[in-house]
Amino acid sequence: KRFIRGEIVHIYPGLPIFQKDFDFSRHVRDDLKPIPSRGFILGWDNPPHPACIATQIDAKGRWLWLKEFQGGYIDNRLVEHVGMASFSDIVKTTLDADFPGISYQSQYGDAACQSPSTTDDTTAADIVRAKFGIPFLPGLIGYTPRLESIKNRLRLTIDGEPALLISKQGCPMAIEALAGGYVYGLKPDATSIQGYDPVKNEYADLMDAAGYIGSRLFWQNVVQRVIPDVLHRKHEPEVDSEVMGW
C-alpha cells in the first residue's frame, strides 16, 4: 500500500524534487471543495500519454488542486497511447458530472500541444480550445519556472494556511509525486544527479501539467520576490542525505 494511516510509505528511486517542501498534513485536504463562483484553471500535458489537472485560485490567492487525470498508465506502466480528443472528452465529462455548474476560466499546457498531428492540421490545443470554449496558452519552456513555481506555493503561507492545497480524493497521483515520486535521476554512485531534467516516470506528465499553470500564474512572483537570481542558476540540485534516507 502507498497510503498507511494517511501517510505515504512508498519508496522512490532518485532524488525527490518536492519532498522537502511538501507536508502531507498541511497540504492535503479530505474535504477540499471547488468554489462555485470561480472557474477551473486547467493544465495539460501532450499525448501520447496526456495528463490534465483541474485547479482553482481562491479569493485569498491559494492554489487548489481538485481533480487529476492521467492517460495511458496502468500500474505505473505506459500501456497505450491516448489521443487528446478522447482524453479531453473524459476530462470534460467527468468534471461536468462531478462539479456541475463550475465554469472554465483558463487553460495552459505544453507548447507542443500547438503542433499539428501526424494525420492532419488539428492540434491538441485546437481540440481543448474547442472542447472547453476558452483560449489555450502555452506554459513556459524549461523546468526551472515550472518546478520553482510549485515549490514556492508549497512554501508560501497565506492567512496561516499553505498557498497550495490538494484534494486527497481528487489528486492521489499528484500527492505521491509531491511526496517523493517525482525525482531527478541519480548517477550509479548516487552522489550526484543524472542530468538536469526530472525522470520521465509515471508522475512526470501530471507534474508537467501543473507546472505549466504555475509557470504562467506564479513564476513572475517567484522571480521578483523570492529568488531573483534563479534564471541564472546552473548548479545541480543538492543530493540531501537525509531525504535519501542515508
pLDDT of residue 13: 76
Q: Can you tell me the mean pLDDT for 234-244? A: 43
Q: Are 55 and 37 in contact (CB under 8 A)?
A: no
233, pLDDT greater than 70: no
pLDDT of residue 47: 79
Which residue type does 69 have?
F
* Beta strand pairing call for 104-109 and 136-138: parallel
208, pLDDT greater than 80: yes
243, pLDDT greater than 50: no
Give the number of C-alpha atoms closer than 13 A to the C-alpha of residue 123, restricted to the C-beta side. 16
Q: What angle do CA 192, 153, 212 make, to 5 degrees?
A: 75
- C-alpha to C-alpha distance for 15 and 153, rounded to whole angstroms: 20
The band of 15, judged by pLDDT with boundaries at 50, 70 and 90, is: confident
The band of 44, judged by pLDDT with boundaries at 50, 70 and 90, is: very high
pLDDT of residue 241: 40
Q: Are 143 and 197 in contact (CB under 8 A)?
A: yes
Segment among 11-25, 56-70, 107-121, 184-198 with least mean pLDDT: 184-198
Which residue type does 237 have?
P
- C-alpha to C-alpha distance for 113 and 88, rounded to whole angstroms: 13
Identify the H or E element spanning 15. strand 15-16
240: left (phi over 0), alpha (psi -120 to 50) or beta: beta
Q: What is the largest CA-CA distance in the chain?
A: 53
* pLDDT tens profile 92-133: 999 999 999 999 999 999 999 998 876 667 899 999 999 999
The band of 234, judged by pLDDT with boundaries at 50, 70 and 90, is: very low
Q: Can you tell me the mean pLDDT for 234-245? A: 43
* pLDDT tens profile 131-178: 999 999 999 988 999 999 999 999 999 999 999 999 999 999 999 999
36, pLDDT greater than 80: yes
